[in-house]
Amino acid sequence: MKLVVSGALVLALVGSLGYFSDQGATGNAPGPEPEEAGPAATSEFILTGIGVNEDCRVRHSPGEGSAQLDLDRSCARILPRLVDARIWEERPDGTVVFVSAAGEALVEFYPGDGAAYESLRPRTPLLSLYREN
């Protein structure tokens, strides 16, 4: 009988420790309201081109799938067709595509070696994206 009671006490103690440790990790203070959370986080990159004496900033909202793409105006000096880029599309194979509003793939990047991404298409100029933040 003592063994059953002591086993039940051990289980109760272990269960309560788990409960209290969860409370401490999450905290009891309420989080900020959605309006107070501030602007959505963005991922920033520096876009450079081999043989091009120019770079520019590229921004998008992080997440899987498609997101709105924000390019500096100077990106058009690196590759003129970037003027039409509107969407950052992440594909399941790890590639990233800059897509126009009409749905045309303008630039395709793959995970790079030393850079976050390197261009696959077009072949020239070779473009690289370096993570800014």
pLDDT value at residue 104:
96
Calculate the CA dihedral of residues 58, 116, 52, 104 and round it to 10 degrees.
-60
pLDDT value at residue 115:
95
What six digits make up the tokens of 126? 């070779």
Enumerate residues 6+ apart whose C-beta is below 8 A from 3: none
Low-confidence residues in the chain, pLDDT < 50 = 1, 3-5, 7-27, 29, 31-38
pLDDT value at residue 40:
56
pLDDT value at residue 52:
86
pLDDT value at residue 133:
64
- Model pTM greater than 0.85? no
